[in-house]
Structure 1
Amino acid sequence: MLRSLQLYSTHKTIPALSLTSLFFLFFSLSNHGCIYCVRAHIFIYAGCSQEKYQPNSLFEGNLNSLLASVVSSSSEATYNTFAIGNGTSTPPEGVVYGLYQCRGDLKIIDCSRCIQSAVNQIGLVCPYSYGAALQLEGCYLRYEHIDFLGQLDTGLRYKKCSKSVNNDVEFFRRRDDVLADLPTAIGFKVSSSGSVQGYAQCLGDLSSADCSSCLTDVVGKLKILCGSAAAAEVYLGKCYARYWASGYYDFSSDSSNVDDVGKTVAIIVGVIAGLAILIVLLSVCCKAMD
C-alpha cells in the first residue's frame, strides 16, 4: 500500500542492465534536440516498498506484463490504470496494480518517451520491490501488489522551494491569484497572473471531489512549506502543484531535499548513453573493416 512506500534521498545500489536495456534506455532518452522534452525526464522523487519479491516469481512475471502494457498504452493515451491477476485464480501475492500519467500539456509522443524512461528507471531505483512509485517532471509511474487505485492520498512526497522574495507586494498578489485558481482544476490546470504562472494536476483515478480536496491541500502546503519563495513545487500522493515568477521556472532548491537518487540515476544514464554510443561506433568500424 502507499504507506509502505519509503521515500529516500540516499544512494541505492543499481543493478547492471542488459545490452538490450542499454540501447532501449539510451534511445528512449533521445529527443532529437527537443529541450523541453528532455526536461520531462528529470528525476523528481521515488518511493520503494521494503518488501521484496523473488526473481522468477509469479509477481515478477505479472509486473513485467504490466510494465509492457504501460509502455504500449502510453503511445495512445496519457493516462491509464492496470490490474494483472485481479479477479482470477491468481494467488494474492501475484496480483499487481498500476497506473501511469503524463503531465497534461505533454504531447502523446513525448508522454510515451517519458513513460518509457520511467519504466526503465523504476527497476533501477526500486529493484525487486513489491511496490514502487517514480515521479519524473513530465510523468508518473506506480505499481503495487495491493489495490491503491481511486484512493485519496494527501501525504507529502516532495517539496522544492526557491529563494524568497521580500517586500514585493505585486508578486504576492499575483501568486495568490494563481494559487486560488489552481484548485478549480479538473485533472490538469494552467493558470497565470502577470509575471506569475503555475499549474496543478490530480491523478486520473481520483473522483472530482477528491481531486478538489487534494488540490486545496497541496496549494495550502505550497504556502506553508515554501512561504515567500519566488518559485515552489509540492507533490502529494495523488496530486501536485507548482508556481513560479518570470525567470524562475528552473530554480535551485533551498529545501532540505537532497536528490542523491536522481543524481545517481543521472550518472548511470550518462554512462549508459556513452557506452551505447561507443558500441554503435565500434559496430560501424567493424562493418567497415569487413
Structure 2
Amino acid sequence: MAKACCLLSLAAFCLFSRYCYAQSNSSSYVNYPSSALVFRRCPDHGAFTDHQEGSLPEILSSLFQELANHSSQSRFYETTVGDENIAVYGLFQCRHDLSGDDCRRCVNQLPQLSNSFCGARVPARVHLSGCYIRYQADGIETSRVELQHKICGDTKEVSGGGFEELRDGALAAAESCVVTENGHCEMEYHGRMRVVAQCEGQLGRCDCAECIGSAAQIAQDECGSSLSGKIYLQSCFLSYGYYQNRDPTTGLFPEYRKAKGAPTKLVAIIVGGAALLFIVFGLFYSLRACRKTSDEW
C-alpha cells in the first residue's frame, strides 16, 4: 500500500514537470514570432537559358542544404554553389535578437517556402519576420540600396507637434548607431521613438551606414507622417515607431511590451512558482501519509 501511494505521488510530480517543460517551450516560441511571411519576390522569367536550367533544381537544393547547415552557427552566411555551366550565389540573414536555435528553425522553413513560391527560378527572395533568404545568378551586380518592400503605418496627429523632427532625429541616430554597434542597432530616442536597424553580415560599417541612410530617406519620402514604418532594402532593414503612451512602471512601450511578452513571462513565473509550491507540499503530505499507512501495517 505504501509503495503504491508513493508511486502515485511520484507520477503526479513527473506529469506536472513535463507539463511545465512543454509550456516553457511553447512560451519561447510565442515570444519569438519569427515565421510570419513579410514578403516574397520571384522572377517572371529565370536568369538562365532552358539548357542551363536543367541542373538548377539540384544546385538550389545543394544551396539550401548548405545554408541550413550553417543556420545554427551564425545569423548570417553566404555561399556560391554551381557546376560547369551555372553558379548561384545565396545567403541567409537572421534577426539579431534570435538565438541559434530560433535562427535555425526560421531558416529551415525557407527552402520549402521558396520552392512553393518561386519554384526553380532565380533571382528570388523570401522574407519572414525573423529571417530571410535571397539568391541570384553568381556574378550579377545588384544595388544594396534597392527597395524590396515597405510598410507604412497609420497616420495620426501627434499632440504637441514635432513628430517629423523627432522621427528624423531618430533615423539619423540609427545611421550613426549601426557604425558603433557593428551593423545592428536597437534604440529608444527621446523616450518616444523606437528604432531598429540591421545590415547584412557582409557589409562594412560605412556601407551599412550608407544603406541605413538610404532607408531613412525612403521612410521620410514615402511614409511621410506615418507614425511607424518598415523599410526593406536589398542589404539592410530599418523600422521606426512612435508611441505617445509609455508604461511608467516598466519603461516599455505598450506595443513593444506586448510583442516581447514581458507580462506573459511574469505571469507564467508567478503561476508556475505557486503551482510548484503546491505540488511540493502535496508530495510531502502524500509521503507522510504513505509513511503513516506503512507504520499502521
Q: Smaller-chain TM-score range? A: 0.5 to 0.7
Query: 1:17-60 CA deviation, whole Å, 9 max, x = no partner?
Result: xxxxxxxxxxxxxx7232232x2111111111233477993222
Counterpart code for 2:31: Y
Output the CA distance in 2 between the equivalents of 1:56 and 1:170: 55
Output the CA distance in 2 between the equivalents of 1:241 and 1:141: 17
Alignment partner for residue 92 of structure 1, among 60, 66, 85?
Answer: 85
Output the CA distance in 1 between the equivalents of 2:100 and 2:38: 21
Query: 1:151-209 CA deviation, whole Å, 9 max, x = no partner?
Result: 54212111111111324336545433321111121311111120321101111222332
Alignment partner for residue 164 of structure 1, among 145, 150, 155?
Answer: 155
Output the CA distance in 1 between the equivalents of 2:44 and 2:53: 19
What does residue 190 of structure 1 align with? 186
Q: RMSD across aligned C-alpha pairs, in angstroms? A: 2.4
The CA deviation at 1:215 is 0.7
Alignment partner for residue 202 of structure 1, among 176, 199, 202?
Answer: 199
Query: 1:70-127 CA deviation, whole Å, 9 max, x = no partner?
Result: 1110011110001113xxxx3333x111100101111111111111122221111111
What does residue 77 of structure 1 align with? 74
What does residue 233 of structure 1 align with? 230
Q: Is the helix fraction higher in 1 or 2?
A: 2
Counterpart code for 1:76: Q
Output the CA distance in 1 between the equivalents of 2:91 and 2:110: 12
The CA deviation at 1:229 is 1.2
Contact 2:197/2:212, CA 8 A, preserved across alignment: yes
Q: Is 1:67 aligned to 2:64, yes or no?
A: yes
Alignment partner for residue 125 of structure 1, among 83, 101, 117?
Answer: 117
Counterpart code for 2:195: G
Q: Decide whether aligned partners of structure 1 residues 74 and 148 sit closer, same or farther in structure 2, where only a CA change above 3 A counts.
A: farther
The higher relative CO (CA closer than 8 Å, separation ≥ 6) is in 1
Structure 2: 5+ residue stretches without partners:
1-24, 244-253, 258-297
TM-score normalised per structure 1: 0.67
Alignment partner for residue 145 of structure 1, among 128, 137, 161?
Answer: 137
Q: Is 1:35 aligned to 2:24, yes or no?
A: no
Q: Decide whether aligned partners of structure 1 residues 188 and 176 sit closer, same or farther in structure 2, where only a CA change above 3 A counts.
A: same
TM-score normalised per structure 2: 0.65
Q: Is 1:48 aligned to 2:39, yes or no?
A: no
What secondary structure is seen at the aligned counterpart in 2 of 1:61? helix
What does residue 109 of structure 1 align with? 101
What secondary structure is seen at the aligned counterpart in 2 of 1:57? helix
Contact 1:200/1:215, CA 8 A, preserved across alignment: yes
Output the CA distance in 2 between the equivalents of 1:126 and 1:115: 16
Output the CA distance in 1 between the equivalents of 2:228 and 2:216: 13
What does residue 179 of structure 1 align with? 171
Output the CA distance in 1 between the equivalents of 2:239 and 2:53: 41
Contact 2:155/2:226, CA 8 A, preserved across alignment: yes
Output the CA distance in 2 between the equivalents of 1:239 and 1:175: 19
The CA deviation at 1:237 is 1.3
Report the identity percentage: 26
Structure 1: 5+ residue stretches without partners:
1-30, 251-290
Contact 1:97/1:148, CA 8 A, preserved across alignment: no
What secondary structure is seen at the aligned counterpart in 2 of 1:49? coil
Alignment length (residue pairs):
213
